[in-house]
Structure 1
Amino acid sequence: MKMRQWLVIVVLAVLSFSASSQWYETQGQAFILNNDKAAARTQAMENALKKALLVAGASVSSVQQVVNGLLLQDELSIRASGSVNSIEIVDETHSGDQVNITIRADIFPQEKQCFSADFKKSLLLTKSNLLHREQANIGEIYGLDAMLMKLLSKKLKADSQYISTKLALKNKTNFSRLNRSLAYEEIKALSMSLADLTDSQYILFTEIADLSFANENNNQWQFWQENIYDRHLGLSFYLYNGINGEMILEKQYQRKAPWTFGRRQSVDLTGGDFWQSSYGRMTEQTLNEFIRLLDENMMCEPTRGKIVKVSGNELIFNLGSQHGVKIGDEFSLLHLNNFEANNGKQYAGFNVSSYKVKVTQVNRQSAHASTTDEHLLGNIQVDDLVVRY
């Protein structure tokens, strides 16, 4: 018997989430005892949802907090503590005394309660896009696009608990052109391509949107000095998931500070004079604020690695000691599965495998793992994912 239904979600609490929701498809099983099919369906449903919650990084003290039972009618009633946005039953089969239910759940990882917080995520920092290059003429600060990312990388390496950075500064991406034309599918493709090329989990694009000067000077009574004007700093940050190309964070800053250098003076962005000036300190403070925001958001993002080799019951994936992986760590396996909803909109989702693997060997950027029950890995392939639950 097969059936396809939508579940009704009753949200008990409104929570703030630091990460975007994601669809997960899992299968649960249960045995029918004393001919009680309804109880078996509930248990199979709970089993499937628990798997989805675990690999999504949601905090679950009891599945009963999420699943409160099923009705016998076509409409199913679900109570959610805030982690689950919606659920769909994709398939249900009965075989002898066993019930198998496949669900698709839209899940938010709960804020600051993450199974993946002990692991660092690899983040690619791309060269900033200077949107109005002529605004950099005063001071000749054309190199600010690369310098900001170098400083951001240095600060993340020193201060971030959850991020391991890589730099790509030789060439600019075409992100800003795509962003201006609202070419979101092309941005997804760009993010996934860069992630695959650089072995990164997340991609950060940055735009320098404003380096203009204010109209009024700050020392109008000191007529013997050159006028000092406020200079603006407009920065926009866009964080994308390299696995499915979806944006998970967007932040804009608009600040200003006195520009204390001469209008014809060429400013050395690598020197202390700039970074100790009012404008330099304001720029650095803006980066510090973004790092705190980035860390808060990345903490609860699942630590996912890409499988690069499969052989029998063993595999190799692209997370290692620099990400916090240790011998004995267990990971679940995911297969990327994009699907189209009834409204025609495309969604990125994951099929959750029944296999789990345990790490047996760790290198700096990769790890070897094998199945915990020594079973062969079946349909697990290169480019499938491992996820810390």
Structure 2
Amino acid sequence: MTILRLTLAALLTFSVQAEWYSGSGTAVIFDDNRQLARQQAAKQALRNVLLQGDVSLAALQLYRQEDLAEELFALHSSVPVSQIVIQEEHERDGQLSITLKADVWPQANLCDDRSIAKALVLTPFSLSAGATQVALGNNALNTEINRRFTTAVQRSPADFLVKAITAEPLFAPEQYQQGPAQQQLRNMAESSQAQFIVAGRLRNLSFGRQQAGLLKKERWVRQFSLEVSVLDGVSGRPIQSQIYQTRTLWPFAMTTELDPASDQLWRSDFGIELQRLINEAVDDIAVALSCVRVKAQVIRVAGSSITISVGSRQGIKPGDTFSLLHSDSFTDSWGNSYAVTAENDSQLEVVRVYPDHAETRAVKSHYLAPVQVRDQVQLDSVRERQYAN
């Protein structure tokens, strides 16, 4: 067992108290590439540290993983981790594990002075026709993958607030651009008071054979391919779609009856790779949405008090301000219709916060445009954090 120590210079100038957190990660060694496995294991360990420190997973994009013999990461400025110490590193049965601890600046985030979680609707992953036909156990495995994906999203309250989980998968990605589908997405988001919708499908769970060699016997190999899409609930339009895929040895006999939720599966090379890609998909969503401004709906108008559909569970606090949005549409000379959303001069200040809604009042009442239920508002600013001297 090797014990390494790596100390990195502090790059933050905040005078707030930092805290130490510890995390572990494991990766599969492919083709004797220990450097890649080391980077993947360390990234998973650091990911667990960020979750403990309530820091956005989008911060992982600031760490450039270099092929250096002794350095683990090269850090950019404004990173919420000032020091990393590798506590343990060991290899066993073709898997490499790392335990590290890191000095984390609480609530240090990429875009604002604190995390504002994005409200999501999660829809179950569907099984493509090819994935369904390969093996009867794929439906149960898909159910477990969905459960683990949902858990991975919910474990990062700095990034996400799950407002609803639908019972049925969304329609096929090929329909996302169609008008009726986008209207359905808008209705789904509005009924759940969510800003974004996450959907996906398992594209490949097939088996293959690794040919026997001079000193190797024939073994089974299993594929995995997952497509994950993020859609804007306000417009109904796609934001991004990514495919995550891998191929590993299948360490079980084809006749083995395996529980898809068992540790036996998820501690195998196949299970470790699946969990890594599930985490990677969640990390990519965090990056895509990290600096997107929070939008919400007006849900009640009572005199000068205007209630909006965002609250403390997303990180909203008294003093935050929202701009009132107005929508317009036009048709060009070719008959194409376009929707436009823009801010007006009306601003609302949060005066009282509840878990899932907040009461606001106009910053300047004489500038306040007429407000109706279902009008959209957009986060304008967040209050400056006060640092200790």
TM-score, structure 1 length as denominator? 0.63
Structure 1, unmatched stretches of 5+, are 1-111
Query: Could you say if the C-alpha distance between residues 132 and 167 of structure 1 is closer, same or farther in structure 2, counting changes exceeding 3 Å?
Result: farther
Query: Could you say if the C-alpha distance between residues 343 and 253 of structure 1 is closer, same or farther in structure 2, counting changes exceeding 3 Å?
Result: farther
Query: Could you say if the C-alpha distance between residues 220 and 253 of structure 1 is closer, same or farther in structure 2, counting changes exceeding 3 Å?
Result: farther
Query: Could you say if the C-alpha distance between residues 218 and 234 of structure 1 is closer, same or farther in structure 2, counting changes exceeding 3 Å?
Result: farther
Tell me if 1:162 matches 2:156: no
Say which SS state the counterpart of residue 255 (structure 2) adopts. Answer: coil
Query: Could you say if the C-alpha distance between residues 259 and 347 of structure 1 is closer, same or farther in structure 2, counting changes exceeding 3 Å?
Result: farther
Paired residue for 2:192? Answer: 198
Amino acid aligned to 2:125: S
How many residues are paired up?
272
Amino acid aligned to 2:147: K
Cα distance, 1:316 vs structure 2: 0.7
Mapped to 2, the partners of 1:313 and 1:375 lie a distance apart of 12
Mapped to 2, the partners of 1:172 and 1:341 lie a distance apart of 35
Question: Higher mean Cα deviation, 181-190 or 254-263?
Answer: 181-190
Q: Higher relative contact order by CA 8 Å / sep ≥ 6: 1 or 2?
A: 1
Cα distance, 1:171 vs structure 2: 2.1
Mapped to 1, the partners of 2:317 and 2:229 lie a distance apart of 31
Paired residue for 1:307? Answer: 298
Cα distance, 1:187 vs structure 2: 2.6
Matches within 5 A, 1:9-88: none
Tell me if 1:209 matches 2:186: no
Preserved CA contact (<8 Å) 1:140 1:266: no
Preserved CA contact (<8 Å) 1:231 1:258: yes
Cα distance, 1:113 vs structure 2: 7.2
Say which SS state the counterpart of residue 203 (structure 1) adopts. Answer: strand
Deviations 1:51-74 (A, max 9, x none): xxxxxxxxxxxxxxxxxxxxxxxx
> What do you get for the CA RMSD once the two structures are aligned?
2.6
Mapped to 1, the partners of 2:114 and 2:178 lie a distance apart of 29
Structure 2, unmatched stretches of 5+, are 1-108, 381-389
Deviations 1:57-99 (A, max 9, x none): xxxxxxxxxxxxxxxxxxxxxxxxxxxxxxxxxxxxxxxxxxx
Match of 1:237 among 228, 237, 242: 228
Mapped to 2, the partners of 1:386 and 1:249 lie a distance apart of 23
Paired residue for 1:143? Answer: 140
Mapped to 1, the partners of 2:206 and 2:282 lie a distance apart of 24
Matches within 5 A, 1:92-171: 114=111, 118-132=115-129, 135=132, 138=135, 140-159=137-156, 161-171=158-168
Paired residue for 1:351? Answer: 342
Query: Could you say if the C-alpha distance between residues 218 and 116 of structure 1 is closer, same or farther in structure 2, counting changes exceeding 3 Å?
Result: farther
Amino acid aligned to 2:243: Q
Mapped to 2, the partners of 1:186 and 1:238 lie a distance apart of 18
Cα distance, 1:275 vs structure 2: 0.9
Preserved CA contact (<8 Å) 1:116 1:299: no
Paired residue for 1:268? Answer: 259
Paired residue for 2:355? Answer: 364
Deviations 1:128-165 (A, max 9, x none): 01012664654713123332232122222324632222
Match of 1:381 among 360, 364, 372: 372
Match of 2:178 among 184, 209, 229: 184
Preserved CA contact (<8 Å) 1:338 1:348: yes
Tell me if 1:283 matches 2:277: no
Cα distance, 1:207 vs structure 2: 0.9
